[in-house]
Structure 1
């Protein structure tokens, strides 16, 4: 791994996903992960979804790519947060971080 990539991964995990700042621990598929919930981005996503007649999200969060241990989440994948089942309605990746939008089953 290049020094730049190592530095970027370190910044993601130690700075951006710091529980003392923005991150919180959530149990994702039975495993604790540091995530950042983003209600503002969820609101923007839902406005666009409404305009395009797409499914509105219930939960949007950011999570380091490394948290999934090489198993990339995908659209329509079932993900549990705590004990509640959701499915992925939208996912994107940027600079080592996934942005995941979830919708609850039965919604």
Structure 2
């Protein structure tokens, strides 16, 4: 139920902010990527409503690209994903949200079993 609700909150955010830039542009560049342009570019949809209907609302659909970007805004906190590989004891933590950057992300960390 939590993921279902989160998907609906994410869709509402995407629809409300469809014309907003994905990240702030410090250069003042007018050619910034909007949430709607991103959705259209990564799918076969023609607008944000179609994208949400096909990829965000339905459980079992992969909308990870935008979910990772939008989820921190919906929850108003940094979201940390732990990427694991069954073949190793190493996991990699990746942070998403305002205030995170590649330089701030932790490196792979060994997991104690």
The normalised TM-score by structure 2 is 0.29
Select the structure that is richer in helix.
2
- Greater fraction of residues in strand: 1
Which one has the largest radius of gyration?
Answer: 2
